[in-house]
A and B are shown apart, each in its own frame.
Chain A
Amino acid sequence: AQSVAQPEDQVNVAEGNPLTVKCTYSVSGNPYLFWYVQYPNRGLQFLLKYITGDNLVKGSYGFEAEFNKSQTSFHLKKPSALVSDSALYFCAVRDGDSNYQLIWGAGTKLIIKP
C-alpha cells in the first residue's frame, strides 16, 4: 500500500539558517514525489517534483529536495530560510507504474523566526 509520512508536525528555524522538512514514503512501484506549500486560507501551490533523473530536484522559491531511494525519503531543504517561508508544507507520492491516487502526508508547519 502507498503511504507518506511527515514525522514532524512543526519545524522551527531561525531566519538565515538552513531548513529541512522530512518526508518518507512507501510505494510498490516507481515513486513520483511532490512537495506543495500552503499559505493560510489558500490552496496548495506546487514547489517541486521528482519523477526520474537527477536525485536532487530544484524547485520554486529556492527550495530543493533530494530523492533517496535506499532510505525511501524525499526531504525538502533550503540553504537559508526566510520569514516568508513560514507556511504548511505537504509531501505527496504516487505509484508511477499505475494511475493510483496521490497520497498526501499530514503536513508540516514550518515557522521561521526573525
Chain B
Amino acid sequence: SQTIHQWPATLVQPVGSPLSLECTVEGTSNPNLYWYRQAAGRGLQLLFYSVGIGQISSEVPQNLSASRPQDRQFILSSKKLLLSDSGFYLCASRTNTEAFFGQGTRLTVV
C-alpha cells in the first residue's frame, strides 16, 4: 500500500509571508495526487489535483497554487498568506479503489 509523507505537521506564519507545504508518496508510481483543506474539523474542500508531472487542476480559485515537479512530489504554495488561509491541509493519493492520506498540516496565519 501507499504511504504519504507530509510536512510540516504544524506551521505558524505571519500574514503576507510565503508558504510551501510538501507531500511525497511512497509505494506507487504515477499516482493521482490531491490537496485538500479542512476548516474547523469538518468537510474536505478539494483545492488541487494532479494526474501527472506538471499537470495541475485547480478546483477553487484562491490565494494558493500547487506544483508537481516530480512524479511522487506535490507542493502547495502561496506567495503571500492571508488570514483566511488558516486551516488543516491534507495531501492524498488515490488508486481506483482507495485513497491514502498524509497526516496533515495545521497552518495558522497570524
Q: Which residue numbers of A lie inside 8 Å of B, CB to CB?
A: 32, 34, 36, 40-46, 49, 51, 88, 90, 92, 99, 101-102, 104-107, 109
Contact = CB atoms under 8 A, between A and B. Distances in A.
Looking at chain B's contact residues, the main secondary structure is strand
A99 B98 CA distance: 12
Given A41-B104, A43-B104, A102-B94, A88 B99 contact: no
Interface residues of B, number: 22
Contacts of B44: 90, 104, 107
A43 B1 CA distance: 16
Contacts of A90: 44
B103 interface: yes
A46 B106 contact: no
A99 B101 CA distance: 19
A99 to B, nearest CB: 8
Given A104-B44, A107-B43, 10 more contacts: A41-B106, A42-B104, A43-B6, A43-B90, A44-B90, A46-B98, A51-B97, A88-B41, A106-B43, A107-B42
